[in-house]
């Protein structure tokens, strides 16, 4: 039986864990050969092995997407080794939440570097190959999918720079969508709500504890739920362009990715919250 993505090549960033790993696995199951990009080579190798055991094909390309040189080298290596590039999924990202007054500038810089500069570096290198794939593939279409967030739709306290990066990639994607539609390179964003991944493990301890408190009463999404959305987008016929998908956990009432602020402080021994966050959860 022909699989929907047979004879195509997909490159997935952030493939060493979470949404990127699940998406790479899912695209391989749909028949794509997948190029796996992230910094942790050992994790990529494990995933490539698992994909191979499922009769799929994967290429490991360890790279730091914040480096234009490494991002470009990874894209070129994928095309050199696998012959083409039909699908790019930008999933690499970091979320370092916290009130602006307390946040080290290095955390802001890291979010801009990975979530924005990383997306730009990989996308810039991939675009000519995606245009070529849309011209010469039997499907006559190529796809560029970026994992944004509910935080790309609504800004919240203690999420300012994460919001900036996710609003940014959504705007970037919409402009590219309009530029590239005549070339049949479809451009999409997927906006997950709370997904059970390693994303919150990088938060400072007190922020992580607050995030955990506010999410512990809901059942989070699984990375595979987001992989489903990506697979839906990239397996449509060329006449269909699914440009945006928002996927939240069923019990999630707020829009931000995780509830953004820890209790603001203590007053006479009692914890209190900033009223601006009281609608969350
Ligand atoms: N989890 C959620 O609730 C949620 C909600 C909305 C949106 N998102 C978005 O979903 C995307 C994936 O996050 P996740 O939840 O799957 O988190 P995750 O499990 O922490 O995965 C993040 C991935 O990004 C990669 N990465 C980080 N810095 C990198 C760099 N400099 N170069 C290359 N790769 C880098 C990591 O790999 P290495 O460390 O090996 O490099 C890892 O594979 C992110 O863009 C995130 O903002 C997540």
| pLDDT digit string, tens, across residues 174-230 | 999 999 999 999 999 999 999 999 999 999 999 999 888 878 889 999 999 999 999
Contacts of range 247-251, beta carbons closer than 8 Å, 24 or more positions apart: 247/190, 247/191, 247/192, 247/193, 247/221, 248/150, 248/192, 248/193, 248/194, 248/221, 249/193, 249/194, 249/218, 249/219, 249/220, 249/221, 250/218, 250/219, 251/217, 251/218, 251/219
Q: Read off the pLDDT band of 268 (50, 70, 90).
A: low
Does ligand 1 come within 6 angstroms of the Cβ of 165? no
CA distances from 15 to 42, 151, 227 (A): 11, 21, 12
With 0-12 CB in 10 A as exposed, 13-18 as middle and 19+ as buried, what is 68?
Answer: middle
Bridge partners (DSSP) listed for residue 57:
33
How remote is the CA of residue 145 from the centroid of ligand 1, in Å?
14
Catalytic site positions? 162
* 78 alpha carbon – ligand 1 mean position (Å): 20
Q: Ligand 1 pocket, 235 CB below 6 A?
A: no
Q: In the predicted model, is pLDDT for residue 105 greater than 80?
A: yes
Taking residues 267-281, report their average pLDDT.
39
* Ordered DSSP codes for 199-254: GGGGS-HHHHHHHHHHHTTS-PBPHHHHHHHHHHHHTS-TT----EEEE--TT---
Which is the closest atom of ligand 1 to the Cα of 95? 47
Q: Top-level CATH class of 9-277?
A: alpha beta
Q: How confident is the model at residue 277 (pLDDT cuts 50, 70, 90)?
A: very low
Residue nearest to atom 1 of ligand 1 (CA): 195
Which residues are paired to 88 by β-bridges?
11, 144
Phi, then psi, of 9 in degrees rounded to 5: -120, 135
Give distance in angstroms: CA of 198 to centre of ligand 1.
8
Per-residue confidence band for 106, with pLDDT thresholds at 50, 70 and 90 = very high
Q: Give the whole-number percent of the chain exceeding pLDDT 70.
A: 90
pLDDT at 255 over 70: no
Measured from the Cα of 192, ligand 1's closest atom is 6
Distance 223 CA to ligand 1 centre (A): 11
Q: Summarize pLDDT for 7-25 with one digit per residue, the tens.
A: 999 999 999 999 999 999 9
Contact 78, 59 (CB under 8 A): yes
Q: Return the pLDDT at 276.
A: 34
Check whether 266 has a pLDDT greater than 70.
Answer: no
Mean of the pLDDT values across residues 36-53? 98
Candidates 13, 14, 256: which one to mutate for ligand 1, based on the most atoms within 8 Å of Cβ?
14
Please tell me the predicted confidence (pLDDT) of residue 262: 47
Cβ of 109 closer than 6 Å to ligand 1, yes or no, is no
Q: What is the largest CA-CA distance in the chain?
A: 69
Sketch the domain layout of the chain as residue ranges: 9-277
Least confident of 25-29, 88-92, 253-257: 253-257
Ligand 1 close to Cβ of residue 16 (< 6 A):
yes
Q: Which pLDDT value is given to residue 264?
A: 47
pTM summary value: 0.93
């Amino acid at each position: 039986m022909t699989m929907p993505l047979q004879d195509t090549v997909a490159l997935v960033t952030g493939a060493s864990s979470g949404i990127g790993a699940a998406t790479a696995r899912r695209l391989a199951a749909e028949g794509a050969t997948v190029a796996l990009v992230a910094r942790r080579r050992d994790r990529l190798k494990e995933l490539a092995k698992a994909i191979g055991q499922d009769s799929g094909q994967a290429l490991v390309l360890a790279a730091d997407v914040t480096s234009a040189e490494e991002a470009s080298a990874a894209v070129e290596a994928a095309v050199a080794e696998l012959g083409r590039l039909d699908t790019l999924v930008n999933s690499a990202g970091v979320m370092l939440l916290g009130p602006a007054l307390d946040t080290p500038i290095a955390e802001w810089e890291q979010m801009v570097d990975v979530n924005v500069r990383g997306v730009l570096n990989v996308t810039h290198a991939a675009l000519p190959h995606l245009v070529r794939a849309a011209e010469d593939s039997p499907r006559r279409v190529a796809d560029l999918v970026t994992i944004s967030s509910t935080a790309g739709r609504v800004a919240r306290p203690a999420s300012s720079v994460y919001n900036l990066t996710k609003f940014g990639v959504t705007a970037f994607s919409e402009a590219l969508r309009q530029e590239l539609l005549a070339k049949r390179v479809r451009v999409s964003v997927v906006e997950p709500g709370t997904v059970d991944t390693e994303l919150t493990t990088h938060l400072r301890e007190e922020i992580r504890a607050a995030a955990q408190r506010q999410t512990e009463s809901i059942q989070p999404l699984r990375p595979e739920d987001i992989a489903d959305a990506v697979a839906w987008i990239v397996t449509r016929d060329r006449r269909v362009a699914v440009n945006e998908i928002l996927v939240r956990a069923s019990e999630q009432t707020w829009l931000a990715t995780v509830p953004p602020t820890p209790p603001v402080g203590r007053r006479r021994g009692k914890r209190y919250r900033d009223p601006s966050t009281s609608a969350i959860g």
